[in-house]
Structure 1
Amino acid sequence: MEPKLKLVFVDDCVFQQAMMKMLIKRMEIFDLYFTCNDGVELIDRLDDSDFLPEICILDLHMPHMGGIATAHEISARFPDINVFGYTASGDEEEIEDFKRNGAVHIFSKTNPRSMLDQIYLWTNGTDPFDENTI
């Protein structure tokens, strides 16, 4: 059995956190180390951790430090972490800004299971991302 991919999930919505925890537990290919409510909490946790996750999924809109600023900070301070965006927004300018600040790909919140499947494929060398979709 392959080792599980270390993942952190950052979203200020408790429902989204609970849903993601259930999905990840059922998939058995990820190891959810922790969840955070915003980018400030994430950066603090990463600074205090003895490990770095391989994957970080960030919500776009969060209080204190949103996804774009958090992606920028992670890319600068923790370049080995692969950042993915997660949003209900369809604002193309925000999505492009998210990518310019370090997000590999931005996913819609409409299908989190598909998002996790695509991230897994990407980490295994397959590029499932279509440039024309979020």
Structure 2
Amino acid sequence: MNLNKNTKVVFADDSDIHHFLLKNLIPQFASLELVCHASDGDELLRMIDRHRDIPDVAILDLHMPRLNGNLTAKELLARFPKIKIYGFTSSSDEKERSAMLRYGFCKVYSKNQLRDLLTEIASLSL
């Protein structure tokens, strides 16, 4: 990874506790920069448009109001073909997890694996 460039991360999840956890964990990873976070995919896309920063990585919950993780991933990949998208879900349904991979997610993590997810993202060579 280029040491002069932080990995720009965007996050969408409808759970306030996961926003709290992410905001408190991400400073432990010097190479990661949280650009924006939202409560659903629609809000995230609007925030990215306002920020005008091209994200390197998106962390998306599957089940969110207005625009779920799969549809958000589809839109993000259309806008930013090089973006890496990671699933972050409480769903243990293998069909739902497989569908996420078909929508372009690199990997799907369970909600109790946030530190592991951030560790993987911090190790990416972008």
Q: Say yes or no: TM over 0.5.
A: yes
Q: Is the 8 A contact 1:75 1:101 kept in 2?
A: no
State the distance in 2 between where 1:29 and 1:51 align: 16
Deviation at 1:46, TM superposition (A): 2.0
State the TM-score, normalizing by the size of structure 2: 0.91
Partner of 1:104: 106
The structural deviation recorded for 1:26 is: 2.1
4+ runs of 1 displaced by more than 3 Å? none
Q: CA RMSD in A?
A: 1.5
Cα distance, 1:59 vs structure 2: 0.5
Deviation at 1:45, TM superposition (A): 1.7
More relative contact order in 1 or in 2 (CA 8 Å, sep 6+)? 2
Q: CA deviation at 1:120?
A: 2.3
> In the alignment, which residue of structure 1 is the partner of 2:50?
48
Give the Cα–Cα distance (whole angstroms) in 1 for the partners of residues 20 and 70 of structure 2. Answer: 23
Number of paired residues?
Answer: 124
Which 5+ residue runs of structure 2 have no aligned equivalent?
none
Q: SS of the residue aligned with 1:103?
A: coil
Task: Give the alignment partner of residue 77 of structure 1, picking from 42, 67, 79.
Answer: 79
Q: Give the corresponding residue for 1:124.
A: 125
Asked if 2 retains the 8 angstrom alpha-carbon contact of 1:6 and 1:30, the reply is yes
Structure 2 residue matching 1:28: 3-state secondary structure: coil
Q: Structure 1 length as normaliser, TM-score?
A: 0.86
Matched letter for residue 116 of structure 2 = S
Question: The residue matched to 1:111 in structure 2 has which SS?
Answer: helix
Q: Is the 8 A contact 1:83 1:104 kept in 2?
A: yes
- Of stretches 11-20 and 43-52 in structure 1, the one that deviates more from structure 2 is 43-52
TM superposition shift of 1:115: 1.0
Deviation per CA, 1:28-75: give whole Å up to 9, x if none.
220111111100011112223321110110011100011111111111
Q: Percent identity?
A: 35
Which structure 2 residues correspond to residues 83-94 of structure 1 after superposition, within 5 A?
83-94=85-96
The amino acid that maps onto 2:122 is Y
